[in-house]
Structure 1
C-alpha cells in the first residue's frame, strides 16, 4: 500500500521542480498592430495575363535588425533606440508592408501581382527593396515609414527610389502610433504603386 502512494506524494514535488525550468510565457498583449490597406482589389476581379498588362512580382523586403522583430522601434536620439511599451505587431513589419504594397498595386487594376518569391519568373516587372524605418520618432513626435525600392524591368533595367511618409503630432501611445503608422504605410504603398505602374 505504501509503495502505491509514493508516486502520488512525489508528483507535486516533481511538478514544482519542473516549474522552475519551463516558461509558459508572459501575459499576452491586449491587442496586436497590423497594416490595413486603404484600397483593395474588388472580389472576383480578373486581370488578363500575357502581354496586355504587366505582371509585377513583389519580392521579400529586407530590413535592418531593429525591424526584424514584432516590436515598434522608437528613435530616442540619433544614437539611442528603444521599443514602444505594449506595442506588438501581429507579424514582422516587412511581411505586413510587402502584403500592403502588393494589395495596393493590385487594387489599381493596371497590373497582375504575384507576391510569392517562387513565381517571380512569371513577372515582367520585379519589385524588391529595404524597409528602412517603420517606427516612432520621439523627438519629432512622429510615426515614420521609409522604404528604399528597387524596380527591375523585363529588359533588365534597374531603377531605385526612396519613399517616405511622416505623420506628426502623434503621442507615444500604442493605438495612436499604430494608426499613424498604418496611414503613413498606406501613403508610401500608394506612391510605390504609382511608380511601379508608371513603367
Structure 2
C-alpha cells in the first residue's frame, strides 16, 4: 500500500471523509498531489426547483466535529487500532468535515421536506440545527474498505437535544488502497450515510 504511517495515542478517534476523484494538481507545500478528492452528491437539487416553504421546520446543518487526524487535506487510512497512515499522491480538495456538511445539506434539500437554511441564517423559533461528529470517515486497511460513521445530533434553536442517532456505511475498495482506487468507495459510503440521515430527519424532526 502507498501511504506514510503516522501513529497516534490509543483511544484516539479515527475519522475521515469520503470522496470522488477530480483530476487536477495543486501545490500545497512540497510535491503537489496527482489527484484531488471531493464528494459528489448522489441526490441533487435540480436547477429551477422551487424552494417554497417546507412542511417541516427549517434546518441549519453545521460542520461536524472531527479529530485532528482527519481534519486535514491529507487522506488518512486506519492501519491498526492505534495508528493511521496517509495515502500518497492524493489530497482532499477541502477538509473532510466541510465536504461532508455540504453533502448532507444537498442530500437533505433534495430528498426531504425540510427547508435547509444557510449556516449564517438565524431562522425562527421552529428552526432546528443538525450538529454531530464524524466518528469514522475514511479507509480501513484491515478490511480494505471505506468506512463512514456519523453521530447525528438534532437540536432546537435553544440548543436542547431533540434526537440523536449514529449512522454507518462501508464500501469495499477494489484493489489496493491507493490514489486511483479510493475515490468511488469513499463517495459511495458518504452518500449512503447522508441518505440515511435525510430519511431519519423526516421522522425525528417532526
Of residues 85-94 and 170-179 in structure 1, the stretch that sits farther from structure 2 once superposed is: 170-179
Other structure's SS at 1:75 match: strand
Aligned partner (choices 79, 83, 89) of residue 82 of structure 2: 79
1:159 corresponds to which residue?
A: 163
Whole-Å Cα distance in 1 between the matches of residues 89 and 165 of structure 2?
A: 33
Q: Deviations over 1:155-195 (max 9, x none)?
A: 94421111111112443122221111000000000001111
1:168 corresponds to which residue?
A: 172
Q: Deviations over 1:32-82 (max 9, x none)?
A: 0000001101112123237x4321110121101111100111111111111
Contact 2:135–2:150 (Cα < 8 Å) also in 1: yes
Could you tell me the TM-score, scaled by structure 2's length? 0.78
How far apart are 1:109 and its partner, in Å?
A: 4.8
1:30 corresponds to which residue?
A: 34
Other structure's SS at 2:72 match: coil
Give unmatched runs, 5+ long, in structure 1. 1-23
Q: Whose strand proportion is higher, 1 or 2?
A: 2
> Whose RCO is larger (CA < 8 A, sep 6+)?
2
Whole-Å Cα distance in 2 between the matches of residues 109 and 133 of structure 1?
A: 25
1:40 to 2:53 alignment:
no
Other structure's SS at 1:25 match: coil
Would you say how many aligned residue pairs link Structure 1 and Structure 2?
A: 174
Whole-Å Cα distance in 2 between the matches of residues 152 and 36 of structure 1?
A: 27
Whole-Å Cα distance in 2 between the matches of residues 147 and 109 of structure 1?
A: 19
Whole-Å Cα distance in 2 between the matches of residues 71 and 31 of structure 1?
A: 11
> How do residues 109-120 of structure 1 correspond to structure 2 at under 5 angstroms?
109-116=112-119, 118-120=120-122
Whole-Å Cα distance in 2 between the matches of residues 133 and 87 of structure 1?
A: 19
Aligned partner (choices 183, 186, 203) of residue 181 of structure 1: 186
Measured on the aligned residues, the alpha-carbon RMSD in Å equals: 2.0
Contact 1:145–1:185 (Cα < 8 Å) also in 2: yes
Q: Whose helix proportion is higher, 1 or 2?
A: 1
Contact 1:130–1:147 (Cα < 8 Å) also in 2: yes
Contact 1:47–1:109 (Cα < 8 Å) also in 2: no
Larger radius of gyration: 1
Contact 1:73–1:134 (Cα < 8 Å) also in 2: no
Give unmatched runs, 5+ long, in structure 2. 1-27
Could you tell me the TM-score, scaled by structure 1's length? 0.80
